[in-house]
Amino acid sequence: MNSDSSSARALSVAITGSGGSGAVTAGLILLEAAARAGCYGLLTRSSGPQIRGGESAAMVRFGGQPLGCMGDRFDLLVGLDWLNVNRFADEIPLDGEGVILFDPGVGAVPPALAGSGARQVPLPLKEQAAAIDGGRLNMVALGAVGAICGLPREALAAGVERVLADKGGSVLEASLACVAAGYALAPEPFVALPAPGGGTEGRWNIGGNEACGVGALRGGVRFVAAYPITPASEMLEWLAPRLEQVGGSLLQAEDELASVNMIIGASFGGVPSLTATSGPGLSLMLEGLGLAVASEIPAVVVNVMRGGPSTGIPTKSEQSDLNIALHGMHGDAPHLVLAPLSIRDCVFTTQWAVELAEHLQTVALVLSDQSLGQSRVITEAPVRTPAPLARRVEEEPEEDYRRYALTADGVSPMTLPGVPGGIYTADGLEHNERGTPSSQAADHQAQLDKRLRKLEGFDYGPAWAELHGAGPLAIVTWGSTAGAVLEAAGRLEAGGTPVRIIALRLLAPLRRAALAEALAGAERVWVVEQNHGAQLFRYLHAEQALPAGARSLARPGPLPLRPGEIVAAVTATA
């Protein structure tokens, strides 16, 4: 069994099973054990279209370097059972150097997996679990996986104690016994543990939805209203108790229309507010967000994208909400669109989005996706925004207070409800500088210019994108696809092809001049993204931000873009 050649001996393990078999739990423990052994790691998960219950798969990759994506193949597949496993066959590519670990009691390896040529290793997992009071097959399998991958048994035990801490003494005791039994059952280590990558102090084990929650709290959000939707709900579940700890609150609204209007109301009262949703929910929120743009009330939406349109594929990832995020609002409604580039970056980007929305008094849409939101990573501690931004508030307005004054930078200080002399009308109607509703052409032109000027004229600094490398080949990407692009670039560079990467974090307003500078001198330009319509490619073309001859690599979900696919596309046209 070989490690993935692209990432210095990173190992990829998949665990599949039906609902209740504990595949995801075993994956979470394996990730934690890898962290205890000094490795970086990444866990992604997959489930059927029914969202709750049913089959699931946990995919874990760990090694000595930070990991931003799954590799091209898997070293080890563990089948807790074979019910509906065919649904995951495309997501877990195996080859003749891989291993399939299973209990012969659950049946023969299905043809879709056996056809890969992977070595089959049957072990009496059920028998070992049955011999332990309260024993479970997934824990025995976990022990065997740890031994095969060379993880110290102590690290596995620590992982069990961390993940199952709230399950009680008997469950914990049985799980530890099962892991020990599975560890002893494994025939031999197939590979040596990847070399740990430096000191582990300060590393985080965090999921993408949690990371957005951390960013929201760091940015000052103290009120959240939302309606649950996959794959964004976990962010709300994580935030609910933690908002209370900092004096805030979370309210589950009756639907998305109510939730967006609730956060606009809270923000109008001076409380930084946020909601989280996915594609169908975002479409329902757009009218309310137009109100926030027109009335210049800060509002933040974290949109965790999934396969669309409509209910689409709610448990799989896709970057296909870019068009609606950029162009969905009616009228001329300039606003911010941002996208985190990794799970770790979910913290920074969400915090930045909140601060920008507050400072510029506008709407900020954060485009996360299922592959970020429902995955976990072992990573270095996230960074903070360099210079926190806050809302401009007029606490002692003069007699001639003008809420929508035509300032040079477009930002006019707002008063909060109850401030003497600061009363004004805030609604969706066009208005003059005082907020008085107006249908006059001059007022409409002036306020349109003001709302655009404050976004176009602001200095966003270097955070608009992450830039890596140099060379005549440039790859432009955004969001979660950046991880696969970075790994692909590493392989290309190892083969003698220098690559420059421009991973866009701020998608709107587009930083045309900065992008032009980053692309200067590039002889070949590719735009890589995970959607069917090449939405970023077309957006950049419409903005005249790409040189002639730029190419697009756009593929829809649900399968993730893999580094080898990107390398193959780029080298085929060299």
Query: Hey, where are the domains in the chain?
Result: 11-185, 205-380, 392-458, 465-572
Integer Cα distance of 321 and 231 in angstroms: 14
Task: Convert the pLDDT of each residue in 445-460 to its tens digit.
Answer: 999 999 999 999 999 9
Topology agreement, domain 11-185 and domain 205-380: no
Q: Which of 147-151, 155-159, 219-223, 398-402 has the lowest mean pLDDT?
A: 147-151
Distances in Å between the Cα of 213 and the Cα atoms of 40, 250, 481, 500 are 22, 12, 21, 31
- When pLDDT is cut at 50, 70 and 90, the band that residue 2 belongs to is very low
18-32, 41-55, 250-264, 373-387: which is most confident: 250-264
CB atoms within 10 A of CB 217: 21
Q: Is the peptide bond before 558 cis (omega within 30 degrees of 0)?
A: yes
Fold of 11-185: Pyruvate-ferredoxin Oxidoreductase; domain 3 (3.40.920)
Question: Long-range contacts for 565-573 (Cβ within 8 Å, ≥24 apart)?
Answer: 565/72, 565/484, 566/475, 566/484, 566/485, 566/488, 566/528, 567/488, 567/491, 567/492, 569/526, 570/473, 570/475, 570/488, 570/492, 570/497, 570/524, 570/526, 571/492, 571/497, 573/524
CB atoms within 10 A of CB 572: 7
pLDDT of amino acid 168: 78
Task: Convert the pLDDT of each residue in 245-272 to its tens digit.
Answer: 999 999 999 999 999 999 999 999 999 9
pLDDT of amino acid 355: 98
**465-572 belongs to CATH 3.40.50.920:** yes
pLDDT of amino acid 4: 42
Question: Which option is the CATH number for 205-380: 1.10.3720.10, 3.30.530.20, 3.10.180.10, 3.40.50.970?
Answer: 3.40.50.970
- Encoded amino acid at 551, one letter: R
Task: Name the token pair of 237.
Answer: 């579940």
- When pLDDT is cut at 50, 70 and 90, the band that residue 1 belongs to is very low
Give the dihedral sign, CA 432/438/444/448. positive
| pTM (global) more than 0.75 | yes
Task: Name the token pair of 516.
Answer: 């032009």
83-97, 186-200, 444-458: which is most confident: 444-458
Task: Convert the pLDDT of each residue in 106-158 to its tens digit.
Answer: 999 999 999 999 999 999 999 999 999 999 999 999 999 999 998 999 999 99
Task: Convert the pLDDT of each residue in 475-492 to its tens digit.
Answer: 999 999 999 999 999 999
pLDDT of amino acid 47: 83
pLDDT of amino acid 6: 45
pLDDT of amino acid 245: 97
pLDDT of amino acid 50: 64
Residue in this structure with the two tokens 């601060």, named with its chain if needed:
355
For the cut 50, the answer to whether the pLDDT of residue 366 exceeds it is yes
